[in-house]
Amino acid sequence: MQNQYLDLRYRITHGPENQMALEELKSQYRDLIHSNRAYDRIRTLSDLITVLEKRDVLNEYNMGRMRDIENILSVYIPTAYRRSRSSTTPFCPHPDDMHSTTPSRIECNPIVKAKVYKTIATTIGRKWAEFGRELSVPENEIDYLSHKDTKDRIYYILRYHEENCDPRRWKTKLLSALIECRRKDIYETVQSYFDTYI
């Protein structure tokens, strides 16, 4: 359930924006937002989702409202949300799944990528937020992730990086983020995986 929620949340907050859809959703949830100040500060779908989560209107135990939001978006942005609803791509592929058919923008041996992601997810610990910032994850996403378990946080961050970085700089930026958050031990392990499979 949690992964389904995170997957749908990711698609909505990182999908195309549509001002008319946003205004309709804001209007629909105005009473639950319960603050004119917060209402006026909502300028993106990501802002809306964050506010509704803070009000506990949206959470992983209530997928219905998130589905309702997706359905409204599908009216305004049908191509994006028709595709997302039919997608079977998991939010966080299991780190041991070496035969994933999930399309990727980056060029990396899937075995290596799975090992790299699993290593980071299981060892980054308290440095996860700093790691996310180094990979340009927005602050409101970091706040949201603080309520999730560490592995889910890291797989979210890694997926965000993979989908938003320049594919040519994916590996360099990943290694740099480990150095910047003072986890040279993980950096060396990850570098050894990349070196082994050149």
Instruction: List the CATH number of the domain containing 181.
Output: 1.10.533.10
Are residues 77 and 116 part of one domain?
no
Task: Give the residues across from 62 on adjacent strands.
Answer: 59
Please state, in angstroms and rounded to a whole number, the distance separating the CA atoms of residues 28 and 177.
Answer: 40
Residues 81 and 115 both lie in one domain: no
Same domain, 11 and 80: yes
pLDDT digits (tens, 9 = 90+) for 136-164: 998 888 888 887 777 888 888 998 898 88
Q: Are residues 117 and 81 in the same domain?
A: no
Same domain for 60 and 24, yes or no, is yes
Are the CB atoms for 160 and 141 separated by under 8 Å?
yes
> For residue 104, is it within any domain?
no
Higher pLDDT, 147 or 31: 31
pTM over 0.75: no
**If you average pLDDT over residues 65-87, what whole number do you get?**
70
Q: How much is the mean pLDDT over the chain?
A: 81
- Count: domains in the chain: 2
- Could you tell me which of 99, 141, 124 has the C-alpha nearest to residue 185? 124
Domain that includes residue 178, residue range: 110-196
Give residue 6's pLDDT: 84
Interior CA angle at 70 toward 68 and 73, to 5°?
115
> Do 15 and 56 belong together in one domain?
yes
